[in-house]
Amino acid sequence: MRYFRAILPLLAGVLALASCKSEYDLLLEGNDIDAKFEAAFDYFNQGKYAKSAQLFESISPATSGTAREDTVLYYWGLSNYRYRDYYTAETNFTSFVMNFPRSPFAEDARFFRIDCLYRSTLRWELDQKPTQNAISAITEYMSEYPSSPYIVACDRMLVDLNERLDKKAFENARLYYKMEDYRAAGVALRNVLKDDSENIYREDILYYIAMSSYKYSNMSVDSKKKERYLTFVDDYLNFIGEYPDSSHRSELDALYRKAQNILGRNAAIIVGEES
């Protein structure tokens, strides 16, 4: 009897929880659209976003074509967004923007959509197609809503996403340098700047271009050395012209002096051959 009395409060708690759950389930499975609509906002305001999302989803078909349709779809997406289900939220907001471009919720919905796209992007080492899609969407949003309160957040996203693309391009090109394929490294690194002259790794790219030129020259047959060391000299002068105080300066200065000595010897050989 004492044991039975001890577990009574526990059983009462379990039954109470079961009762609460069943009430929600009955509401979710029922057909009272007004009750679901009101409850969905109650759960949303309480921060119970998984439940509010389920309720908004359940009444979405029934409210299609009514005055509530855009509100239901918007808050369905916002519930998923707050629940951090960004994939589903992005789908919700994409549908919303397509169907309700003039809704009072449209500007916010478009921002939350691009924030979902941003949050779904990958590290720079991985596929950057999602990054490019997010950049396109953010740029379009900023063009259409230049006075939006979300502009600062959009700027921050763009900086981060563009940095990823810059790093991806730089590291992909530098891979040839690490593999000691200096000719391919020089070509790949120059192409990075050709595609994006303002790459944030520009200093490092110019450094590795010069280093690739020097090492490629050093490995070349004698008949090709002069031409290739002259290319290194050009790359060295380009580098110090832009970054005279770079931490790489002393290293490249030393290589430049070596190249000058080699070019001087080659010049003497050529003069001797001509005479």
Number of CB atoms found within 10 A of residue 271's CB:
9
Inform me whether the pLDDT recorded for 272 exceeds 50.
no
SS3 196: coil
What token pair was written down for 111? 């921002």
Q: From CA 202, how far away is CA 25, in angstroms rounded?
A: 59
Task: Please name the residues in contact with 119: beta carbons below 8 A apart, sequence gap of 6 or more.
Answer: 86
Residues near 68 by beta carbon (within 8 Å), at least 6 away in sequence: 37
70-101 confidence digits (pLDDT tens): 999 999 999 999 999 999 999 999 999 999 99
Asked whether 114 and 154 are in contact (CB, 8 A), the reply is yes
pLDDT for 16: 54
Note whether 39 and 29 are within 8 A (CB): no
pLDDT reading at 107 higher than 80: yes
Lowest-pLDDT choice from 130-134, 152-156, 162-166, 266-270: 266-270
Q: How far apart are CA 186 and CA 200, in angstroms?
A: 18
Query: Tell me: the pLDDT tens digits for 159-211?
Result: 999 999 999 999 999 999 999 999 999 999 999 999 999 999 999 999 999 99
Q: pTM, whole model, 2 decimals?
A: 0.79
Q: Which of residues 267 and 233 earns the better pLDDT score? A: 233
Task: Encode pLDDT of 15-55 as tens digits.
Answer: 555 554 668 888 998 889 999 999 999 999 999 999 999 99
CA–CA gap between residue 7 and residue 24 (Å, rounded): 26
Q: What percent of the chain has pLDDT over 70?
A: 88
Token pair 């119970």: residue: 48
